[in-house]
């Protein structure tokens, strides 16, 4: 089996030390860092994302796979940078003001990284200005907001209004999610997209980036 396929297989099984070892072996064999990333780590994470969407695997499996991805990336990152491999895009993510829930937001961040994005994580309880500053400083073209409380969902609208006030609405796209959030809420507040789960969020970010 090609070493990149082995990396994907081990990532799917969540075998973090093995993934790290195989990434190093692939580099030693002279395989290009971008090939290791796309055909090994991202390919494995895509499988996990699809299985998660179909409820074939659950949050713990995704977290374990994401840890394996992280360990592989530790070895690969310096070589990607040296080879001039750029992320496919940049996404700022955070849980909105007043909201401290971050498990779902972290899963979304991991799936985005797994899809090849650079993720700028603003953490929890993020004020609108924090989202916007992070996007402006990093050059991100998408802001992702998570909310788990019905009482904090309106903070998503505040971010969109602040973007509009700064003349950035449309230039920086917004995507939202979290258990109480729906597509109709996204439409109501003028968000550019809604995703129901972490794997769909990565697909949505790719679509938003292209449009």
Positions touching ligand B1M (CB under 6 A) are 59, 93, 98-105, 107-108, 144-146, 148-151, 175-180, 195, 197-198, 201
Asked if 116 contacts 65 with a C-beta cutoff of 8 angstroms, the reply is no
| Least distance (Å) between residue 1 CB and ligand B1M | 31
| Least distance (Å) between residue 53 CB and ligand B1M | 9
Residues in the chain, overall count: 211
In this complex, which beta carbon is closest to ligand B1M, that of residue 79 or of residue 130? 130
In this complex, which beta carbon is closest to ligand B1M, that of residue 77 or of residue 133? 133
Buried b (16+ CB within 10 A) or exposed e, 130-148: bbbebbeeeebbbbbbbbb
Q: Which residue has the tokens 């081990």?
A: 10
Residue 145's beta-bridge partner residues? 94, 176
Q: Which residue has the tokens 């449009």?
A: 211
| Token pair belonging to 23 | 């990434």
| Least distance (Å) between residue 20 CB and ligand B1M | 25
In this complex, which beta carbon is closest to ligand B1M, that of residue 76 or of residue 198? 198
Q: Give the torsion through C-alpha atoms of 21, 23, 27, 33, to 10 deg.
A: -160
In this complex, which beta carbon is closest to ligand B1M, that of residue 33 or of residue 52? 52
The CA distance from 181 to 148, in Å, is 8
- For strands 173-177 and 193-194, give the pairing: parallel
- 45: burial class by Cβ within 10 Å (0-12, 13-18, 19+)? buried
In this complex, which beta carbon is closest to ligand B1M, that of residue 22 or of residue 186? 186
In this complex, which beta carbon is closest to ligand B1M, that of residue 8 or of residue 143? 143
């Amino acid at each position: 089996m090609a070493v990149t396929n082995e990396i994907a297989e081990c990532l799917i099984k969540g075998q973090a030390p093995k993934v790290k070892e195989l990434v190093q072996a692939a580099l030693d064999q002279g395989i290009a860092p971008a090939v290791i990333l796309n055909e090994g780590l991202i390919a494995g994470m895509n499988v996990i994302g699809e299985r998660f969407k179909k409820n074939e695997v659950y949050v713990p499996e995704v977290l374990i796979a994401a840890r394996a991805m992280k360990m592989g990336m530790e070895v690969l990152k310096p070589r990607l940078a040296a080879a001039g491999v750029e992320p496919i895009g940049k996404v700022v993510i955070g849980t909105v003001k007043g909201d401290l829930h971050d498990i779902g937001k972290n899963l979304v961040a991991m799936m985005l990284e797994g899809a090849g994005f650079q993720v700028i994580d603003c953490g929890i309880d993020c004020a609108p200005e924090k989202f916007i500053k992070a996007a402006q400083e990093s050059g991100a073209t998408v802001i992702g907001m998570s909310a788990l409380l019905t009482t904090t969902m309106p903070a998503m609208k505040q971010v969109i209004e602040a973007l509009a006030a700064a003349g950035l609405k449309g230039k920086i796209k917004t995507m939202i999610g979290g258990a109480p959030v729906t597509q109709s809420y996204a439409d109501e507040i003028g968000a550019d997209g809604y995703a129901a789960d972490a794997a769909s969020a990565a697909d949505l970010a790719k679509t938003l980036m292209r449009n």
